[in-house]
């Protein structure tokens, strides 16, 4: 993703992994292969591989620099974590090098925010040091939405997280270090940043708004995993917790931001990630900032 500027705020991505990496039939269980293939003209070559029926998706964190803060939004999978899924387990990735390439250090991050508490959004909250999990960012306040934290804790009290000991290795060490703050679901930070609860994918999933005189951007987390869901908003990902609510929230998000200047910054979209929503006669389309859209091929 090219850096994004909104007024005096800059946004840069720190990529952990990208490219074709998830079977389309797995990501979108409700979609028939022929229904997905109907979108090939605008998806190839960078969003879908027809021969293998794989979607390309990026996994990335965002560094947001304002006049007062250096913020990290969503912290990917991290390293050395005990995870059920082979793709997430005990990984080592270029993420630290990509972070350092922005000429900042872990000490510079003063706020961490997670759109939700799934495995690929909390990993770099902590890192392994002398056999112990410690906060990766020693000077940061980690802000967690109240509903997401409460519902996640209630769920793992009932049964362990099927993805692995995420709470124990990526959240609890932050709390024990005194760096966690549970904040309201509509929390407002300075510098034009605020939370909006957008439930469905998880019960307390939040979008993070950034607005100032220079414009409006929304970090939309996992409301949509792949741009095809802009055209087919009824298709939930296999990771959505509440299917009916996820569809309602996705559709209302599309209606709210279509035909506005709002820049949408989803977690996992390839092709430069950032774009604007537009309404069409038959639904919605995503116009990528760097060219191409979900109704026309790139270039």
Of 221 and 272, nearer to Zn ion (C-beta) is 221
Per the CB < 8 A criterion, the answer to whether 92 and 79 are in contact is yes
Q: How far is the CB of 212 from Zn ion (least distance, A)?
A: 27
Of 98 and 212, nearer to Zn ion (C-beta) is 98
Q: How far is the CB of 70 from Zn ion (least distance, A)?
A: 23
Of 88 and 99, nearer to Zn ion (C-beta) is 88
> Rule CB under 5 A: which of 193-222 touch Zn ion?
222
Q: With contacts defined by CB under 5 A, how many residues of the chain interact with Zn ion?
A: 2
Binding of Zn ion by 278 (CB under 5 A): no
Binding of Zn ion by 74 (CB under 5 A): no
Of 120 and 148, nearer to Zn ion (C-beta) is 120
In angstroms, the CA 40 to CA 111 distance is: 40
Q: Report CA-CA distances (Å) from 227 to 75, 82, 154, 167.
A: 21, 30, 32, 30
Binding of Zn ion by 16 (CB under 5 A): no
> Rule CB under 5 A: which of 102-121 touch Zn ion?
120
β-sheet bridge partners, residue 181: 143
Q: How far is the CB of 267 from Zn ion (least distance, A)?
A: 5
> Rule CB under 5 A: which of 218-247 touch Zn ion?
222
Of 169 and 222, nearer to Zn ion (C-beta) is 222
In angstroms, the CA 194 to CA 132 distance is: 33
Q: Which residues in this chain contact Zn ion in the complex, by CB under 5 A?
A: 120, 222
């Amino acid at each position: 993703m090219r850096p994004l500027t909104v007024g005096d705020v800059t946004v840069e991505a720190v990529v952990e992994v990208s490219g074709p990496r998830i079977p389309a039939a797995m990501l979108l269980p409700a979609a028939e292969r022929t229904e997905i293939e109907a979108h090939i003209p605008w998806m190839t070559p960078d969003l879908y591989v027809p021969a293998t029926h794989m979607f390309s998706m990026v996994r990335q964190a965002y560094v947001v620099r304002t006049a007062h803060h250096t913020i990290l939004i969503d912290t990917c999978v991290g390293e050395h974590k005990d995870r059920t899924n082979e793709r997430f387990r005990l990984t080592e990735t270029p993420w630290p090098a990509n972070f350092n390439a922005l000429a900042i250090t872990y000490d510079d991050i003063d706020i961490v925010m997670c759109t939700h508490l799934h495995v690929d959004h909390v990993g770099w909250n902590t890192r392994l040091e002398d056999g112990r999990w410690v906060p990766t960012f020693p000077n940061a306040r980690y802000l967690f939405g109240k509903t997401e934290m409460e519902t996640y804790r209630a769920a793992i009290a009932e049964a362990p997280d099927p993805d692995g000991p995420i709470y124990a290795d990526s959240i609890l060490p932050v709390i024990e270090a005194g760096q966690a703050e549970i904040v309201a679901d509509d929390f407002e930070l300075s510098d034009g940043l605020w939370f909006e609860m957008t439930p469905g994918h998880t019960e307390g999933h939040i979008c993070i708004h950034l607005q100032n005189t220079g414009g409006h951007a929304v970090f939309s987390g996992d409301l949509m995993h792949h741009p095809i869901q802009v055209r087919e908003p009824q298709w939930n990902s296999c990771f959505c917790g509440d299917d009916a609510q996820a569809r309602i929230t996705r559709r209302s998000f599309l209606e709210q931001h279509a035909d506005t200047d709002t820049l949408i910054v989803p977690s996992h979209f390839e092709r430069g990630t950032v774009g604007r929503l537009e309404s069409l006669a038959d639904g919605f389309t995503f116009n990528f900032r760097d060219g191409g859209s979900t109704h026309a091929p790139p270039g």
